A = this chain, B = another copy of it.
């Protein structure tokens, strides 16, 4: 049996404390599974405040980078957070000093993943980041290792628990977005400033990592078209239910003839799909590949213990001797991402219009679609229930067959120009299994 693996943990928030607890609780099992003892030797955090447990057994560092470079540890775990600053300098210090590192920091990976992967490879060490995407779901290793024999065509999923919680509540309780967001904040599922989650940036960071793993391309979060969920209304939720869909914020990366398409947006998914069943703060990822066809992983996307499970899985793999390149293939072999622009996106669309109740409106809208060869799967025009007076505007909902984003945008601009709409049009992409 090889010698003890001494782990240093920087960042003592929820995840950091959960990692300490897991490594202690599972000590015997970790030793059996790793073939060597694993112990937390040292810790680092900004302040020496009370954290609800005794930390006196661990060597203390005020500076994460000093811990990372210390000869008293063999492996460095970064749970500080943030794309730059202390997290970045500490991981660099660890890798540069010949230590493997584990992180759950998607912002760091999205921004500096390529450079850190190169640094790890140059130093012959590992960089684990299973916890950075979809919390406790082992999707990084699944893409990097288990599906090595597959050509992947698409990877998509629910990667942000906050958004999924809000959308689930809107549907279940028929409450508007703002109320559900406030509730999520009260429960600790959303930050005081929720824009990073609900605007889609968090999902985009995670998607950029999955894209690199799935397609062997360089991480490129700038190439992602991003829309958040704040404009989803109860009218959309109701229409989705009626039409056999459910609305989810998805991150989607897909190989197309025009390159790799990466997008984050509210999406209509068939109600009978596995991903549509994922409610609340859970996450899910579906992978389409030539050999395995379709694989879906569902689990907790956040939370201290779930993320700690992923971090400890990485620690054990490294303890056992895993030294795979961080993104599966050497960083130098990752291809620049050939970005397929969102205007080239091909798919079905849900469109909700608020149309002035005038003769010829529906015909004019249909004509604007037909001019661009957009064929409609369904068109629903219905007086809103409970309104007995003739309303000024009526809702019209269109579902299109597959077409191009460019054509849909042009058609909607033309419809707006015709002056039939009382409100800006709502457009939600449809994703089929």
Contact = CB atoms under 8 A, between A and B. Distances in A.
Interface of A: 18, 22-23, 25-26, 29-30, 32-35, 130, 136-138, 141-142, 144-151, 216, 272-274, 277-278, 289-300, 303, 305-306, 308-313, 315-317, 320-325, 328-330, 333
Contact of A291 (B22, B149, B277): B22
Nearest to A308: B291
A118 B312 CA distance: 26
A313 B26 contact: no
Given A33-B144, A292-B305, 19 more contacts: A22-B291, A29-B148, A32-B328, A33-B145, A33-B328, A35-B324, A35-B325, A136-B292, A137-B295, A138-B142, A146-B310, A147-B313, A149-B313, A273-B277, A290-B305, A291-B305, A295-B297, A296-B297, A321-B321
Given A277-B272, A291-B306, A300-B292, A329 B150 contact: no
A252 to B, nearest CB: 18
A316 to B, nearest CB: 4
A9 B188 CA distance: 53
A121 to B, nearest CB: 11
Contacts of A30: 148-149
B150 A309 contact: yes
Main secondary structure of the interface of A (DSSP, over half): mixed
Contacts of A312: 148-149, 291
A370 B273 CA distance: 41
A83 to B, nearest CB: 26
Most buried by B among A313, A321, A328: A313
B29 A316 contact: no
Contacts of A35: 324-325
Contact of A29 (B216, B278, B294, B321): B216
B291 A309 contact: yes
B298 A296 contact: yes
Contacts of A320: 322, 324
The 5 A-B residue pairs with the shortest CB-CB distance in the complex, in nearest-first order: A149-B312, A138-B146, A136-B292, A291-B309, A32-B329
9 contacts: A26-B149, A26-B151, A32-B216, A32-B333, A273-B277, A290-B305, A293-B300, A293-B303, A296-B297
Nearest to A33: B148
A299 B294 CA distance: 6
A309 B147 contact: yes
A150 B297 contact: no
A133 B208 CA distance: 31
A289 B309 contact: yes
Most buried by B among A18, A22, A136: A136
A151 B26 CA distance: 8
A306 B277 contact: no
Nearest to A150: B309
Contacts of A32: 216, 328-330, 333
A303 B291 CA distance: 10
A306 B295 CA distance: 10
A432 to B, nearest CB: 15
Nearest to A279: B272
Contacts of A294: 299-300
B298 A274 contact: yes
A297 B141 CA distance: 14
B292 A22 contact: no
B292 A149 contact: no
Contacts of A330: 32
A146 B142 CA distance: 10
A312 B144 CA distance: 13
A1 to B, nearest CB: 10
A313 B22 contact: no
